[in-house]
Amino acid sequence: MNVLETKIRTKIDKVFIKYAPSEELTELKEELIADLSEIAQDNINNNQAEDEAVESAFVHLGDIDELMAEFDEARKEETQEESKSADNIVKIGKFVIDDSKISYDNKVIIDENRVDFGSFLKVEDGSVDMGNGFFRVNDDGVSLGKEKIGNIFSRLKLVNNVQYDLSQINEVTINYKNDHIELKQSPNNQLIVKEYMSRNNDRYNLTSNSTGDGQLYIKQGDRPIMWHIHSRIEIFVPQKYAGKINVLNRNGSMFITDLNNELKLSVTASNGAISVENAVLTKLNLFCANGAIKVNNLTVSEANLISNNGSITGSNLTGEYTIKTRNGAIKTSMINGSGSFSSNNGSVKVDFNKVTGDINTYTKNGSIRLMIPEDSSVEFSLQSKMGIVKNKLSGAKMKVEAQGFIEGICIDNPQYKLVGKSDHGTVRLG
């Protein structure tokens, strides 16, 4: 330490003697000593004496009380930023709820990708595991007990190929029990059903019948009792068909890709994931008892996506959506439209490119994150019983601000209402 720095350090200690010592204050003093030393040295280089150079440097400090007030304010903001994660956590006994997951007794049971109830039930992306692995449904099919599965579908052979004329059909119902089902666009004006199986037996093939009132029923054929067969079903829907199609599958995954129809499509899977990619439809209903739902690049007038146990995710969505899950997270992005998004146990994250109607979000146990453009024509209301509420839209006008509740508008005379409500969790807009 040279003589110049010693003089500055001694003087700075006298200036700060009335302030309580702290680690932050020590760091501030060291920064000031470095700055003052540099200024004083410049003064000496400009032919000032050393003592005069030090005094001139300290003139740059200005009002020390004002400096300390600014320092304290900055320290408070930093402390608040560091405590954000703690603010976002809600604890109820052994349950811990934060922005992205729910834990019980230090074990994550619900997050954005899975529902994990131990050996009883596990749902993760495209798989369902029940009874400690005794019953499994994944992308390779359905398995029971100790049966091993893996790359099953690549070995399946086409055993049945049926085409149907839908010109006089208003509604089609397709019912399978334990199959992997794929819905695609038909290359012609016929409804085509192709069955791929690990065993070839005519009695395993589908059966069908049509009624005079424009109804067509397609049903899975028999299945052997003593052993399990693997199967994959391809269903090709004609582009010009504008009626109703109902697809039911008890156990197995379902994939819907590249459909461009005016039809009304309903899909139900008791155990298994449902995935939709690149579709334009009039109406879409998806239901999973146990399984995840994924939708990407979807345009509809109206969509209902429901899972009892499983996450629901989606991106690039256009239309009006009702999305519900009992146990699981909801995560959607790039929405052009409106809708209702609710989870009993799980976080809800909704990101809008454009708002065209009312938006309602709710979770009993979990956090809510809402993203909308700053100029959205909405009046918003955010509420949390046991968590905190935040508005991060800089241009929003606040009407009511209270503990756990805020109201405001994005622009004057808004057209739509936006509601975010959580019983136990953080609610954030922006």
* pLDDT tens digit sequence for 26-55: 877 887 888 788 888 888 888 889 988 888
Contact, 258 vs 279, CB < 8 A? yes
Domain endpoint, select from 231, 255, 287: 287
Residue matched to tokens 């079903």: 233
Higher pLDDT, 365 or 66: 365
Q: pLDDT at position 84, please? A: 44
Do 162 and 195 belong together in one domain? yes
b/e per residue 211-250 (b: at least 16 CB within 10 A): eeeeebebebbebeeeebbbbbbbbbbbeebeebbbbbbb
Do 157 and 131 belong together in one domain? no
For residue 137, name the pLDDT band (cuts at 50, 70, 90).
Answer: low
Backbone CA torsion sign across 13, 18, 22, 28:
negative
pLDDT digits over 290-325, tens only?
A: 888 999 999 999 999 999 888 999 999 999 999 999
Contact, 299 vs 335, CB < 8 A? no
Do 97 and 126 belong together in one domain? no
Do 116 and 149 belong together in one domain? no
Do 136 and 148 belong together in one domain? no
Q: pLDDT at position 109, please? A: 65
Q: Is residue 351 part of a domain?
A: yes
Do 123 and 160 belong together in one domain? no
Q: What is the mean pLDDT of residues 111-124?
A: 69
Contact, 200 vs 159, CB < 8 A? yes
Q: pLDDT at position 82, please? A: 40
- Is the pLDDT confidence value at 130 over 80? no
Please give the model's pTM, rounded to 2 decimal places.
Answer: 0.72
Average pLDDT, the chain: 84
Portion of the chain with pLDDT greater than 70, in percent: 80
Contact, 163 vs 172, CB < 8 A? no
**Residue among 191, 204, 190 at smallest CA distance from 160:** 204
**Residue among 393, 387, 388, 386 at smallest CA distance from 370:** 393
Half-sphere exposure of 247 (CA within 13 A, CB side): 29
List of residues 6+ apart from 405 with CB closer than 8 A: 381, 382, 383, 384, 389
Number of domains, the chain: 4
Q: Is residue 77 part of a domain?
A: no
Q: pLDDT at position 78, please? A: 47
- Is the pLDDT confidence value at 397 over 60? yes
Q: Is residue 245 part of a domain?
A: yes
Where in the sequence is the domain holding 369, given as residue range(s)? 83-103+311-430
- Cα–Cα distance measured from residue 407 to residue 405, given in angstroms and rounded to the nearest whole number: 7
**Residue among 295, 332, 325 at smallest CA distance from 311:** 325
Do 193 and 226 belong together in one domain? yes
Q: pLDDT at position 4, please? A: 85
Q: Is residue 303 part of a domain?
A: no
Question: CB count, 10 Å around CB of 357?
Answer: 13
- Is the pLDDT confidence value at 83 over 60? no
Instruction: For the chain, count helices (H), then strands (E).
Output: 5, 31
Q: Helix or strand or coil: residue 86?
A: helix
Q: What is the mean pLDDT of residues 142-152?
A: 53
For residue 21, name the pLDDT band (cuts at 50, 70, 90).
Answer: confident
Do 93 and 124 belong together in one domain? no
The helix (run of H) or strand (run of E) holding residue 56 is: helix 50-59
Q: How far is CA 33 from CA 10, 47, 231, in A?
A: 10, 21, 77
Do 429 and 379 belong together in one domain? yes
- Cα–Cα distance measured from residue 15 to residue 24, given in angstroms and rounded to the nearest whole number: 16
Q: pLDDT at position 271, please? A: 85
